[in-house]
Structure 1
Amino acid sequence: MSITLTNQDQATLRTAAYGAVSLMAAADATGKPHKVATNGSLALSSATGLVGHVLAAKSKDIELKGKTVAELADHVLPALTATMSLLEKQDPAEADNFRSTVLVAIDAATRTHHGEPSPTLAEMTRKITTALNAA
């Protein structure tokens, strides 16, 4: 099946994926959010398929606005759900690819710390997973 994504669809996908990593970095209470963001972003750069091509495209359309974690979440969590819904309609396999790509990225982000993730990171992971599964 061929998928057609508009420029806006691609921007939403990029915002959702990179926004999930940004939420993890914002939720990190250990003072190492740059490592969380770096590990998560590197994981996103290893994506394959259509998702990988969209994430690898050089673009300035990623919108990660908000002065607080709550404001960022208000923008990113719906973008995750919208992207999943769009991809599910066009190609369920690509929707699964997007879900697994984001989950690998947030897993990579939490592995910045040795041992279990902090309760804050665990809760943000739950919120991101819920948004991915809401479609």
Structure 2
Amino acid sequence: MGQELSADEKMTLKTAAFGAVFLVTNADPGLRAMVKESYAASGVIAGTTGVVRDALTTGGLPQVSGDSLAELEAAVLPALEKSVALLADRAPHELANFRTAVIGTAERAAAAVAGISPAEAEMLARIRIALGVPG
């Protein structure tokens, strides 16, 4: 890569990736479902490599919160866009790895309980748009 990511840059990637899971789990909420969905997504994060793995598996958890789905979107979607720009600039060879990890975690979370609901499918589409990935 040439340059290490700073702690703040790593947290941006982590906020984006974990935030995508939060968006999907909150698109069709339910406590039991949220636990199953979060657990299902963790396997994808553990399987990442390189800079993406380092960013997503080291340090503390991101503080992603909001009283509504709209507030979560306002925090997470820009973090996804910023992460794409950051990786495109600093580690372009890692961008596909990041996109695959984020989409994989979000899809796995959405499918963990009774398949992907229409609300979850809509949120997955928004996540793909923020990542610059065609639907």
* TM-score normalised over the length of structure 1: 0.89
Pairwise CA RMSD: 1.7
- List aligned pairs for 1:1-135, cutoff 5 A: 1-29=1-29, 32-60=33-61, 62-115=62-115, 117-133=116-132
Give the conservation status (yes or no) of the 8 Å contact 2:15–2:64.
Answer: yes
Q: Deviations 1:79-101 (Å, cap 9, x if unpaired)? A: 00000001001222201110011
Please state whether the residue corresponding to 1:64 is helix, strand or coil.
coil
- 1:38 offset after TM fit, Å? 1.5
Which 4+ residue blocks in structure 1 deviate beyond 4 angstroms?
Answer: none
Please state whether the residue corresponding to 1:113 is helix, strand or coil.
coil
CA distance in 1, matches of 2:110, 2:18: 15
Gaps of 5+ in 2: none
Gaps of 5+ in 1: none
How many residue pairs get matched?
A: 132
Give the conservation status (yes or no) of the 8 Å contact 2:20–2:102.
Answer: yes
Identity value in percent = 35
* TM-score normalised over the length of structure 2: 0.89
CA distance in 1, matches of 2:58, 2:29: 31
CA distance in 2, matches of 1:43, 1:99: 12
Residue identity opposite 2:56 in structure 1: L
